């Protein structure tokens, strides 16, 4: 295994922000990996390592970002049933 490549090894979108306790959070949009960090610099460093060094795939969360590693994607689009009702 190449030690220079992370386990995830893909250019996934990462969200970075603070949780309610003020800790820095970095989390992949797919909800499979992420972590808590002591500062923004370390959160960005982790996100860059995990997404293959793609800074354009890192987004700062506008609101509170709580770490959730349940594997549920962080997608804010409504479910298909709700989207049909809105149309």
Say if strands 58-60 and 14-18 run parallel, antiparallel, or are unpaired. parallel
pLDDT by position in tens, the chain (length 87): 455 655 445 568 999 999 999 999 999 998 889 999 999 999 999 999 999 999 999 999 999 999 998 877 765 444 454 344 444
pTM tops 0.95, yes or no: no
Residue ranges of the domains in the chain? 14-86
Phi, psi (degrees; rounded to nearest 5) at 44? -65, -40
Residue written as token pair 């009702």: 85
What DSSP string describes 23-72? -EEEEETTSS-EEEESSHHHHHHHHHHHTTS-GGGEEE-SS------SS-
Strand-pair partners of 26 = 16, 35
CA distance 71 to 56: 23
Cα(17)–Cα(10) distance, integer angstroms:
21
């Amino acid at each position: 295994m190449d030690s220079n490549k992370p386990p995830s090894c893909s250019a996934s979108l990462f969200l970075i922000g603070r949780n309610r306790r003020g800790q820095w959070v970095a989390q992949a949009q797919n909800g499979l990996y992420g972590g808590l960090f002591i500062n923004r610099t370390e959160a960005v460093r982790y996100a860059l390592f995990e997404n293959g060094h793609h800074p354009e795939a890192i987004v700062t969360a506008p609101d509170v970002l709580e770490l959730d590693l349940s594997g549920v994607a962080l997608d804010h689009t409504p479910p298909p049933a709700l989207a049909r009702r809105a149309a």
